[in-house]
Structures are given as C-alpha cells and as structure tokens.
Amino acid sequence: NAGVTQTPKFQVLKTGQSMTLQCAQDMNHNSMYWYRQDPGMGLRLIYYSASEGTTDKGEVPNGYNVSRLNKREFSLRLESAAPSQTSVYFCASRMRAGVETQYFGPGTRLLVL
Amino acid sequence: DAKTTQPNSMESNEEEPVHLPCNHSTISGTDYIHWYRQLPSQGPEYVIHGLTSNVNNRMASLAIAEDRKSSTLILHRATLRDAAVYYCILGDSNYQLIWGAGTKLIIKP
C-alpha cells in the first residue's frame, strides 16, 4: 500500500517550458488536491478535485491546469513555467471533502530558471 | 488568509511534555480544528482534529478552550523525532484547509 505517490521528485525547468506533475493514490479516495509550498510558508491550495470528473480552483490557480484522469490519478500541468512557480508541490487525497484526514505525497521540488 | 495564529517557533527538552498553542478567535460553530505536522523534507502528516471536546490519540492530545477561540496541542513526552513544523488549521466553507506558517518545534536532547 503505497499511499500517495508523486513523480518526479525533482525537476529543473527553463522559463517558458512546460511540464506535468503526476500524482496517484491507492486508497480509493474520492478527493484529491494540489498544493504548493514556498520556503518558510504554509501550504497553499492550487486546485482540487472533490470527486472523479470534477475539478475546482483553489487559492492560487493562475498558471496551472489540472486533470483528474481517473479516481486514482490527478495531474498538475504548468503550460509556461515562470520563476515565480519555483516551489515544492504536494499532492494529497482524502476519502471525501469534509473533516476526513488528508494524506500527502512526498512532494516534487521544482526549480524554474 | 490563515484563520489561526501560532508562535513562529518553540523549544522543548527531550522526554518532556510540549504544549503548542493556537489562537482562532474568528472560528465559526461548524469549524473543526485540525493539526498536522511536517517533518523536514517530507509531506505533512495528520496529527489530530476536534470540534468541541478534548481529543486524545496515540500521537497527541488536543485541548480546546470552552469558547473555542483557542486550542493547545499536547505532546506528552517529546522525542527528537517530534521535531517538525506543527500546523493548526481551520477549514473553509468548502472544507478546504487554510494553512498558516505553523510553529517550528525544536527538541533539545
């Protein structure tokens, strides 16, 4: 039981390049989330998917797109990376929106030059 | 904006209890209080949550003030492995967690 997995672990991009961050969970959870964390800060919600087939914007969605590929997988795409998107990205899941526990992946460290 | 206020950092000695405070003066009647922690270079992990009554689990205890405007996370016997950033979090109307900067807990051997 791997929980929440994220790929890649590290990535360096040049300004303007695109990339997709992958996230998968094997806990049969309905809700999935993408956060970013800048140094010394808490997490900020980028996008979330309350259930398969739905996605909604969070606090900081600009510059990102998401796809809920199926119940297990939720990807985050940067179409044209900018230095301001240098951050650590965390994917999380929980059984459903509400008070249930969120389970987090190990994170993807992204550097945009 | 985060709806909670926590000290930036706290220090404690190993094998002693730790009390981590959190203020949430604008809490609404339906807001749950969540605590997560983040070990260095890892994703956050759940610690405990509660609504009105004090809560205990194998990791910690959560003491909630009667007016619910503050709460305290209690680690009964801190170890070096408890060194982490601890986040006190409320949810918004869509049950999304609103994260602040947390408290960095330093454990001295």
Amino acid in position A89? Y
Quick: pLDDT tens for B59-83: 999 999 999 999 999 999 999 999 9
pLDDT for A43 equals 93
Query: Using alpha carbons only, what angle is made at residue B3 by residues B70 and B65, rounded to the nearest 5 degrees?
Result: 10
Chain A: residue whose CA lies nearest to B95: A98
C-alpha atoms less than 13 angstroms from C-alpha of A84 in its C-beta half-sphere = 6
**Is the CB of A106 less than 8 angstroms away from the CB of B42?**
yes
Quick: pLDDT tens for A33-63: 999 999 888 899 999 999 999 999 999 999 9
DSSP assigned state of A70 = S
Chain B: residue whose CA lies nearest to A56: B94
| Residue numbers in A near B44 (CB within 8 A) | 43, 90, 92, 102, 104
| Residue numbers in A near B96 (CB within 8 A) | 45, 48, 58, 97
How high does pLDDT run on average in chain B?
A: 92
Bridge partners, residue A31, by sequence: A94
Distance CA B49, CA B30 (A): 13
Distance CA A86, CA A65 (A): 16
**Is the CB of A44 less than 8 angstroms away from the CB of B2?**
no
Quick: pLDDT tens for B15-71: 999 999 999 998 888 888 999 999 999 999 999 999 998 999 999 999 999 999 999
Take residue A26 and report the two structure tokens written for it.
Answer: 């094997």
Give me the residue label for tokens 């206020």. Answer: B5
**Is the CB of B87 less than 8 angstroms away from the CB of A42?**
yes
Query: Which portions of chain A are predicted below pLDDT 50?
Result: none
Compute CA distances A28 → A23, A51, A104, whole Å.
14, 11, 14
